[in-house]
Amino acid sequence: MDYRQFRAFVAVFEERNITAAAQRLHLSQPALSGSIRLLEEALGTALFVRKARGVEVTDDARALYPQLRRMVAEADGLAQRFRKRDERERLTIGVEEDVARSTVQHLAATARACVPGVQLHLLAQCEGDARLASEELRCEDELFLPLLSERYVLALPAQALLPDNAADTPQDTATDWIVCPTHASHQRLMPLYGSRADSPAALASNFSLALDLVAAGVGRAIVPESLAQEIHGVQTQPLEVELKRRIGLCYNVQALGNGALARLRDGVLGEG
């Protein structure tokens, strides 16, 4: 159990609504629901019952609320006390899977240019004022601020040899596909796999793991170019049909209450 779970509980208890609580905390609904679920698992009891309009609180939740409300208030008071010593604006960004280090560096440089002196707090999870992710992972209630666009490429082991025309017809020459069937991009990539799509050499839950398999010589995969460039033992070939993805910040409109995020958005849009 941790402060974030307590804070999520207090917000849901007081709002009696997951959407309203998520907006209040500047979180996505999945992130908020995940915090509540972890707290319930740690306590071994249900705290809320979902209804058509909002949630109902259980007796255990009513008993727990005064204690957690006090703990959250005390923690917030401590944070405010020490925050006064540092007047820098703070921007917390969750970094999703399959975002290359070069992309994270691009975000950091852009944020510092748009918001001089900003204190960045990067999290390897779905949390924060905004999320650095591909546009495909944007939630329905989120806005998307594009930062860059990159192409998909054919990734294969560095020692592999392809015919001269392999880049033009990957679906004909590559029979040892490594695919990511649960990934948000899978349906877009399916046509490129050809007749061997139903019998891949291996499966992975994300592009980074797929590239580890490629480097090990298991097969080949269609992945974003930035990720392939960061893996030793992998070479790339262009695809016949140019396919791209956009990377940027996913955020709720309420998160613009953070002045650093608002200035970052305005700076990026101004460059566009």
Model confidence over 162-211: pLDDT tens digits?
555 444 444 444 469 999 999 989 999 999 988 777 789 999 999 999 99
Q: Which of the four pLDDT bands, split at 50, 70 and 90, describes residue 230? A: very high
Residue 162 phi, psi dihedral angles, 5° rounding: -115, 150
Taking each helix axis from N to C terminus, what angle separates 3-15 and 18-25, rounded to the nearest 10 degrees?
130
Q: What is the structure's pLDDT at 270?
A: 85
Q: Which of the four pLDDT bands, split at 50, 70 and 90, describes residue 115? A: very high
Q: Which of the four pLDDT bands, split at 50, 70 and 90, describes residue 271? A: low
Q: What is the structure's pLDDT at 81?
A: 66
Q: Which of the four pLDDT bands, split at 50, 70 and 90, describes residue 84? A: low
Do the Cβ atoms of 248 and 156 come closer than 8 Å?
no
Q: What is the structure's pLDDT at 72?
A: 86
**198 vs 81, more confident:** 198
pLDDT in tens, 21-52: 999 888 898 899 999 999 999 999 999 998 87
pLDDT in tens, 124-169: 877 889 999 999 999 888 999 999 999 999 999 987 655 554 444 4
Q: What is the structure's pLDDT at 85?
A: 55
Q: What is the structure's pLDDT at 82?
A: 64
| 233: pLDDT strictly greater than 60 | yes
Complete domains list, the chain, with CATH: 3-83 (1.10.10.10), 90-147+246-271 (3.40.190.10), 149-244 (3.40.190.10)
Q: Is the pTM of this model over 0.85?
A: no
Which range, of 76-90, 113-127, 193-207, averages the lowest pLDDT? 76-90
Cβ atoms within 10 A of the Cβ of 234, count? 22
Average pLDDT over residues 83-109: 87
Q: What is the structure's pLDDT at 140?
A: 87
Q: What is the structure's pLDDT at 88?
A: 74
Average pLDDT over residues 79-95: 76
Q: What is the structure's pLDDT at 181?
A: 92
**Separation between Cα atoms, residue 137 and residue 185, nearest integer Å:** 9
| 239: pLDDT strictly greater than 50 | yes
Residue 191 phi, psi dihedral angles, 5° rounding: -60, -25
**Separation between Cα atoms, residue 219 and residue 213, nearest integer Å:** 7
Which range, of 11-25, 151-165, 251-265, averages the lowest pLDDT? 151-165
Average pLDDT over residues 106-133: 92
Q: What is the structure's pLDDT at 76?
A: 79
Q: What is the structure's pLDDT at 171?
A: 41
Question: What region does 28 belong to: left with phi over 0, alpha with psi -120 to 50, or beta?
Answer: beta
